[in-house]
Structure 1
């Protein structure tokens, strides 16, 4: 066993021992579920605002319904809205609301919902959804229980956007369920929003139906699961996987969500050698993606990527793969090595590529693999912390909905300094197009430009894992990587 593995295994054992000493056993009552969310940064839970960490998003979605929500399988389902219709041109969404109340007992009305939506869309112009919400033109209340949202241009995934946790509505601090805040003594505890029915009372099914929620570092979360102090762990990422392996978590309990998103190296600085797109192409060619991905335990199905937009969203007839995609790894190495020899002969030595990565065991594995691949072709790499100056930063983000637009918008000049104005123009044309076929083709054209620009080096699909026992009620892996708390205790969102 190498020193890195030994260090992390020993750290895991130490954390587990501490938690075992203080762990409280809990009953097997499926109406009482303890959940911990992995957070690399601050784990404070605050469901208010626009820049929510994962644990805060989880709490907001539990307490504050939007018009629609997501179920345990990642499907859009009714929440405040009982049903909806979409106009043929995709520019009007009309929602009919349930007869519902806020948690202070006041009635949910279309007028108030419309006002809250206008306020929320305005706030979210400073969030990760800033480009998506800009498509909204007008929100009006039509009757006491009908709300219409009018768009500037069609957004085929608008319902998925409305189902994001940030779209949950609070009225003066009051949500409309499906859960309500019960206690904040040690951890956040959420209980059922409504009163149990008479049938439930008669069957004695109303007793203590709740879910507790906390956020913490990966090592503590995994150790807490091993100690039997929680039933569900959420929001694990690739760089935490060595901890899962060191803890001996059963492969049956480790759940991998089939998410879509971006996992790769995004250029944030391009000086000297790296200012030339053809040189950045050498970096993309040199990395042996299958070998890199098989270095991680427990994820044999991890898929590599050579392009920006997932194949499922491709437009027929447009090839957005790089020109070298069909070359063998051996031929790619020979080509890259020859390119480097020519460059050094005429321009001199090349500084190491500076890569910003998380401070975690999995990130160390990733870096060593990339560094080894670069050295094979005459390059080198240097690692710095995630918040330090670098040439590239690891990008590890899940797409909130199934649209080519989201993937491309991450590489516009508003998002990153290493960008391509022509691609930005093409994306803007696509955004403004009302014909969906034309829109899709323009997005595909923009991807072709960005693939050739190499301001992003795709490596794989993102990894998102959870830990939950087999048969855990209300839990399912899904393409959104989202796991609602209310389903864990058998309470529907509406």
Structure 2
């Protein structure tokens, strides 16, 4: 009997040990995250890779669930005045990651910091609906305390707006409207986001950051909703090369990719059908023209010619091939309560479109004997390169344009594009910060920090201002459509296609919503189940 019991005891002991190890094992989500983050300061960051990280490290007044629906964040409830111009937010008991209380004053400081020109925020325009925000951001009002936001007590924040803003609740989900830890910012200056200095208020906190290698965030034990967070750790890998990202996934090194190579979609559909996630995405892929310098300054016919010479059907069918839709105007389909503008050239067949492009090209001063020589800049990426090569070939074949393709690493690319000193034509993409046409059109306001084309049109600005004051949603949509028509017909940009998200996700990653048109995917709602 003894000889029979001993193996049983050993087996039971081993089983208990394995179970204990499983129970104690960390639950880790490994995310491919595109480019190395430019910044993880909520008020200065820009780009999707940065937003993915910030959404885990911080939380605004309003949050988003796994499908992108608005849910209470730090604010547990709120009221909106009858005229739509005053929002009162009631904050829950929440803490910073260092255990100190999070108060309404931290939101006041964050918002003031966002519009203060000294901060250098590229997204200060997002807060322009707030009273005096634009005046402060443009330097006409020097006192940031004049911004229309105040803390009436530690748990109450009141925002006064310039006019009714139907999308305001969606707007404050953006990182620009996150709270900022005043003590940490003032003590450490620009170094406050380093792992040893940072203080955040989200479901995760920064543990370590090895530039161009990985950024690690761990579950915050100070987060108000920590019991809902199932992951112990999230690791973000900056992998600009989509093939490398895919190969790391196939090798089991990442659990979800940032993106996938366009030329591998057919193979992935055949071999990774259940892991390939393709869904609608509220965004536009486009090429911008720098209208502040030659050759595109004061030459709308040239900009129009190059726009018409792009065969979007070929790009979406042959180059990208994941279900993207050709885009002829900047606002994508799928916007709530909005029917976007479609220009006349979208209905022309290919031959008629090219014929018109050639005529415009000649009228702009170019031809066989005087071909346009243009630099086309894109950020380092296999997918961006393939699209740029295709567009350059179309410009060459249809018009005789000689295109010099140049690529730059993400951080350098952003700075080059923003400065406008070297760029001529450049690759860009815009993802809606909230589900409203205004989120796309405001990019081209004359003073917008992200207006990389340098487009200036006072009539366009006036239409956006008018839309900001209009309470009738039907009339507001009509005003925005007029603005979109004006922008489209001025050709500061050439829309190429409406985005879809396309990535690989391991079957054991749970909580990944199939449809999330904003692709705002907080790690808070995901977990590992092996």
Q: Residue 255 of structure 2 aligns with which residue?
A: 231
The 3 A distance-change label for structure 1 pair 52 and 457 is: closer
User: Which is worse superposed, 222-231 or 113-122?
Assistant: 113-122
1:472–1:488 Cα contact (<8 Å) kept: yes
User: Which is worse superposed, 265-274 or 136-145?
Assistant: 265-274
User: Which is worse superposed, 445-454 or 265-274?
Assistant: 265-274
Mapping of 1:169-180 within 5 angstroms?
169-171=179-181, 172=184, 173-180=198-205
How far apart are the structure 2 equivalents of 1:346 and 1:366?
24
Tell me how far 1:445 sits from its aligned partner.
2.0
Q: Secondary structure at the match of 2:344?
A: coil
2:374–2:403 Cα contact (<8 Å) kept: yes
How far apart are the structure 2 equivalents of 1:413 and 1:328?
34
1:69–1:78 Cα contact (<8 Å) kept: yes
Q: Residue 378 of structure 1 aligns with which residue?
A: 399
Structure 2 residue 297 is the aligned partner of structure 1 residue 264: no
2:43–2:121 Cα contact (<8 Å) kept: no
Q: Secondary structure at the match of 2:287?
A: strand
TM-score, structure 1 length as denominator?
0.78
Mapping of 1:382-421 within 5 angstroms?
382-386=403-407, 387=413, 389-414=422-447, 415=451, 416-421=453-458
Tell me how far 1:167 sits from its aligned partner.
3.3
Once the two structures are superposed, what CA deviation does each residue of 1:246-295 show, in whole Å capped at 9, x if it has no partner?
88972432323422223212110464688432343232222221111112
Structure 2 residue 157 is the aligned partner of structure 1 residue 147: yes
1:262–1:458 Cα contact (<8 Å) kept: yes
How far apart are the structure 2 equivalents of 1:59 and 1:258?
21
Once the two structures are superposed, what CA deviation does each residue of 1:207-260 show, in whole Å capped at 9, x if it has no partner?
9833333333334433221111221223x37xx434777889724323234222
Q: Residue 81 of structure 2 aligns with which residue?
A: 87
Mapping of 1:20-419 within 5 angstroms?
32-40=27-35, 42-43=36-37, 46-47=40-41, 50-52=44-46, 54-120=48-114, 122=116, 126-137=120-131, 138-171=148-181, 172=184, 173-181=198-206, 187-194=214-221, 209-218=232-241, 219-234=243-258, 236=259, 240-242=261-263, 250-269=272-291, 271=294, 275-296=298-319, 299=322, 301-313=323-335, 320-337=341-358, 349-386=370-407, 387=413, 389-414=422-447, 415=451, 416-419=453-456
Q: Secondary structure at the match of 1:190?
A: strand
The 3 A distance-change label for structure 1 pair 208 and 413 is: closer
1:47–1:59 Cα contact (<8 Å) kept: no
TM-score, structure 2 length as denominator?
0.73
How far apart are the structure 2 equivalents of 1:358 and 1:454?
22
Q: Secondary structure at the match of 2:376?
A: strand
The 3 A distance-change label for structure 1 pair 78 and 29 is: farther
Structure 2 residue 491 is the aligned partner of structure 1 residue 485: no
How far apart are the structure 1 equivalents of 2:376 and 2:499?
18
Q: Residue 461 of structure 1 aligns with which residue?
A: 498
1:427–1:443 Cα contact (<8 Å) kept: yes
How far apart are the structure 1 equivalents of 2:176 and 2:70?
15
Q: What count of residue pairs does the alignment treat as equivalent?
A: 453
